[in-house]
Structure 1
């Protein structure tokens, strides 16, 4: 399996993490697992039909799909005929490009886009990065600045933050914040904070230079103890720390 990423143009940097491409090869014939990161995405299938959402959905050739933010892991089946091209959007920016649906209606699911929102398979095959940059530049609207400020605080703290305190700091009630997250992110503030904290721990676990114990990582990331972190890893990945 070959996975490559390309950064968007500078004008889209605040909206899009990356454009990515995944191609299977002769050694592939297995389920691949992805973990939640709080981000939605758009995917076009350039290869054979591909099963996703743990086998509950199939992406067909030439079709474009919207992928909601995930609250847990999901598996997709990758084989030699798999060829996917996708866009990893940043949290809370979907509505800056589309008038489609509240994000909570998309959470943990993959839905086929209708024609007005779909990518042009002919143009995307010629120069995918140039096409995607132009596609999103033509649709770009302003960001939700108040929500971006909240997200920035969550990321700076690496998810080790109190929802009430962050609401107070940004002059918004917890109820208002919950509604904004439901509409623009598809997760509750608590779910999102937990995912960011999990991702922070995951990054530390993957850094072979640090060689920190699970207890040290749990402490630094704000988990109650080693067991609390282990349970969060299991919930978000389906794996125990030792399996991971």
Structure 2
């Protein structure tokens, strides 16, 4: 399997993490797993039919799909003729490009988009990067700066800031904050913070090797103990820490 990420144009950098491409190789025939990161996305299938969402969803050739914010892992079956091209949007950004549906209606789902929202397969194939940069630049609307500021605060704390503290700092009620998150991100601010905290712990585990105990990492990342961290990893990855 070959996977690569490509940066969008400078104008789109505040809104899009990356474009990505995944192509199967000759002997590929395996499930590939991705973990939740708080980001929604879009995928167009350029190859044979691809089974995703742990076997529940089938993506057909030339169709465009929206992938809602994930709260747990997803498996996709990769074969030799698999060819996917995707867009990883930044959290809370989907509504800057689409007036489609509240994000909480898409959480943990992969949904085929209607033709009017989809990528034009003929134009896409001619020059994917040129097409995507133009497609999203033309669709760009004003960004929700308050929401982006709150997201930034959550990331700066590695998911350990309290929701009440965020609401107080932003001069917004907790109820309104939760409503905004569900509408634009698909999950509550607490759930989003948990994903950010999990991703921070995951990064430390992968980069620490045997140098640090799981308990040390758990405490640093705001978990009660190593069991709390282990259970969170199981929920979000389907694996135990030693399998990461």
**Common fold: TM-score over 0.5:** yes
Contact 1:204 1:210 in 2 (8 A): no
Alpha-carbon RMSD across the aligned residues, in angstroms, is 1.1
In the alignment, which residue of structure 2 is the partner of 1:70?
70
Q: Summarize the alignment of residues 99-110 of structure 1 with structure 2, pairs less than 5 Å apart.
A: 99-110=99-110
- Between the aligned partners of 1:211 and 1:110, the Cα distance in structure 2 is 38
5+ long unaligned stretches in structure 1: none
SS at match of 2:71: coil
Q: Summarize the alignment of residues 156-175 of structure 1 with structure 2, pairs less than 5 Å apart.
A: 156-175=156-175
Compute the TM-score of the two structures, normalised by the length of structure 2: 0.98
Q: CA deviation at 1:208?
A: 4.4
- Between the aligned partners of 1:210 and 1:241, the Cα distance in structure 2 is 12
Matched, 1:148 2:148: yes
- Between the aligned partners of 2:133 and 2:57, the Cα distance in structure 1 is 28
Compute the TM-score of the two structures, normalised by the length of structure 1: 0.98
Q: CA deviation at 1:210?
A: 8.3
- Between the aligned partners of 1:56 and 1:21, the Cα distance in structure 2 is 22
Q: Summarize the alignment of residues 48-197 of structure 1 with structure 2, pairs less than 5 Å apart.
A: 48-197=48-197
Moved segments of 4+, more than 6 Å: none
- Between the aligned partners of 2:63 and 2:45, the Cα distance in structure 1 is 6
Q: Summarize the alignment of residues 202-217 of structure 1 with structure 2, pairs less than 5 Å apart.
A: 202-208=202-208, 211-217=211-217
Contact 1:65 1:112 in 2 (8 A): yes
- Between the aligned partners of 1:70 and 1:6, the Cα distance in structure 2 is 22
5+ long unaligned stretches in structure 2: none
Contact 1:158 1:221 in 2 (8 A): yes
Matched, 1:25 2:19: no
In the alignment, which residue of structure 2 is the partner of 1:237?
237
Q: CA deviation at 1:209?
A: 7.0
SS at match of 1:54: coil
Q: CA deviation at 1:27?
A: 2.5
Q: CA deviation at 1:202?
A: 0.5
Query: Which stretch shows the higher mean deviation, 117-126 or 82-91?
Result: 117-126
- Between the aligned partners of 1:96 and 1:59, the Cα distance in structure 2 is 25
